[in-house]
């Protein structure tokens, strides 16, 4: 029997050019969404799912910023955070190739660093055994996403990336669960016409093997890739009190880190 998911990956690379000038000097994942940096939202998803070994994939220009914030913040709680640099964005499946040694023979959860969820998916993460698992939400603009067409029984029947013609309005969001086979699968993928490895090819592999499960949810799914969506995300997080559902351990770690920084500042100016 396959083991539960013990490894997590947060894809936090990229340069956030749509958020210029806000991201000229730092990653968009370190910009605030309401009252805390964006990176803490995907980190919370993994921690609430019981994952204690997390790899964060970062761009070379911003690696030091992430290490300064997250390098030791969770050591006290026996949560290991490591980092890997992605020199160029070559598609989401490259996360599994870069994270090969991290994943080893374990199942893995991959989450995109700019995706914020209202729902708690800890049960799905903790109960995952094998194959693949995606998280799906109805959207008004499915042409912007990978979408999944469901059969009469509510199971995945067909997956298409950014369809020009109507297929479905069920968008695949940025949280993915896979067994360890995903590493070797990712190595076999060929770049698409846009020059990147495509996560939809991973989904279709598991779909064709009849090993792709899905969860359809109705809670908020937010990204923060533009100034307007970043503002909207902050307001939604505030109004729906999403940070109030954070794992208490993570809240405590953040508070301790802030107090430590305040103490260091006082020493510098005294």
Domain encompassing residue 93 = 7-269
| Distance, CA of 36 to CA of 29 (rounded, Å) | 10
155 occurs within a structural domain: yes
1 occurs within a structural domain: no
| Distance, CA of 145 to CA of 18 (rounded, Å) | 18
26 occurs within a structural domain: yes
Global confidence as pTM: 0.94
| Distance, CA of 88 to CA of 60 (rounded, Å) | 9
- CATH number of the domain residue 135 falls in: 3.90.550.10
Question: 223 pairs with which residues across the strands?
Answer: 115
240 occurs within a structural domain: yes
Sign of CA dihedral 97, 178, 131, 103: positive
119 occurs within a structural domain: yes
Q: How many CA atoms lie within 13 A of 259 on its CB side?
A: 6
Binned at pLDDT 50, 70 and 90, residue 2 comes out as low
pLDDT one-digit tens code per residue, 39-95: 999 999 999 999 999 999 999 998 999 999 998 899 999 999 999 999 888 899 999
pLDDT one-digit tens code per residue, 204-244: 999 999 999 999 999 999 978 789 999 999 999 999 999 99
- In the chain, the number of structural domains is 1
| Distance, CA of 237 to CA of 222 (rounded, Å) | 9
Length of the chain in residues, anyone? 270
42 occurs within a structural domain: yes
Sign of CA dihedral 225, 99, 202, 42: negative
2 occurs within a structural domain: no
182 occurs within a structural domain: yes
């Amino acid at each position: 029997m396959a083991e539960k998911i013990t490894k997590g990956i947060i894809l936090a690379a990229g340069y956030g050019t749509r958020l210029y000038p806000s991201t000229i000097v730092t990653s968009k994942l370190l910009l605030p969404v309401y009252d805390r940096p964006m990176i803490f939202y995907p980190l919370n998803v993994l921690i609430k799912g019981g994952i204690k070994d997390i790899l964060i994939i970062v761009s070379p220009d911003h690696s030091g910023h992430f290490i300064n914030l997250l390098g030791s913040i969770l050591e006290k709680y026996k949560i290991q955070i490591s980092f890997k640099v992605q020199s160029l964005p070559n598609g989401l499946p490259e996360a599994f190739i870069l994270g090969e040694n991290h994943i080893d023979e374990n199942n893995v959860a991959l989450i995109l660093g700019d995706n914020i969820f209202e729902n708690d998916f800890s049960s799905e993460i903790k109960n995952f055994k094998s194959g693949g698992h995606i998280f799906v939400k109805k959207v008004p603009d499915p042409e912007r996403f990978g979408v999944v067409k469901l059969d009469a029984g509510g199971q995945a029947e067909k997956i298409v990336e950014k369809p020009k013609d109507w297929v479905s309005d069920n968008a695949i969001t940025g949280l993915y669960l896979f067994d360890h086979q995903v590493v070797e699968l990712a190595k076999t993928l060929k770049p698409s016409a846009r020059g990147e490895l495509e996560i939809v090819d991973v989904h279709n592999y598991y779909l064709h093997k009849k090993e792709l499960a899905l969860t359809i949810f109705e809670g908020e799914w937010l990204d923060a890739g533009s100034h307007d969506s970043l503002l909207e995300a902050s307001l939604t997080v505030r109004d729906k009190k999403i940070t109030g559902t954070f794992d208490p351990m993570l809240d405590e770690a953040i508070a301790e880190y802030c107090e430590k920084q305040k103490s260091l500042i006082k020493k510098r100016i005294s």
